[in-house]
Amino acid sequence: MFGKGLFQGLGITFKRMVGPNITEFYPEQKPVLPSRVRSSMGLQREKCICCNMCAMACPNGVIKLTGEKDEESKKRVLKSYHMDLGRCLFCGLCTEACPTKALTVTQEYENAVFEADDMKWDMIARAERKGKEG
């Protein structure tokens, strides 16, 4: 019968209309993301050994870091760590390359900014501001 398919489709629509809601009410209810989600980066300064592996793993040259030798412990310590998020692919190759897991992915996804310069992150300042998690 011509038109049967139309009514069948309407039936499905009505069934779903009374069914459970599947949408998320985003700004009010924030989703909990799995721990592997690469939506942001975090640095734990004391773990970093300034080996430059993250900067070398990056396809786009996002990471620039400098270190200096600590006279007391004779170890290299981090002096500055900058990331230009505007060029970041969020591929996670830097965190995979990090031998001490000083640089890790984090699940903050609200990274929108108004100015292009705000995408240049000073990771040490961020880590100090946000506490241990970075």
Partner 1 sequence: MSIDKTEELVLNMGPQHPSMHGLFRMIVHLEGETVTEIEPKIGYLHRGIEKLAESRTYTQFIPYTDRLDYLASPHNNWAYVQTVEKLMGVEIPERAEYLRVIFGELARIASHQVMIASTALDIAGWTAWGYAFRDRERILDMYEMTAGSRLTVNCMRIGGMSAEPPAEFWPALESFLDDTPEMLEEYYGIFFGNEIAQGRLKNVGIMPKELAENLSITGPVLRASGVQYDVRKAYPYSIYDRFDFDVPVRYGCDSYDRTIIRMDEIKESVKIIRQAIRDIPEGPIMAKVPKVIKPPVGEVYHRVENPKGELGFYIVSDGSTKPARVRIRPGTFVNLQMLPIVAKGWKIQDVVAIFATLDAVLGEVDK
Q: Extract the annotated binding site for [4Fe-4S] cluster.
A: 48, 51, 54, 58, 88, 91, 94, 98
Among the listed residues 14, 70, 91, 101, the single contact to partner 1 using CB under 8 A? 91
Residues 132, 104, 42, 28, Cα dihedral to 10°:
-90
- Contact flag: residue 93 with partner 1 (CB under 8 A): yes
Residue 40 or 124: the one with the smaller Cβ distance to partner 1 is 40
Contact window for partner 1 (CB under 8 A) among 62-70, 75-83, 85-93, 122-130 = 85-93
User: DSSP string spanning 27-83?
Assistant: TTSPPPPPTT--SEEEE-GGG-----HHHHH-TT--EEEEEEE-TTT--EEEEEEEE
Nearest to 94, CA basis, from 118, 120, 61: 61
Total residues in contact with partner 1, by rule CB under 8 A: 27
**Would you list which residues are annotated within the binding site?**
48, 51, 54, 58, 88, 91, 94, 98
Distance of CA 90 to the CA centre of its chain: 7
Residues 20-39 that bind partner 1 (CB under 8 A): 22, 33-34, 36-38
Among the listed residues 50, 85, 92, 119, the single contact to partner 1 using CB under 8 A? 92
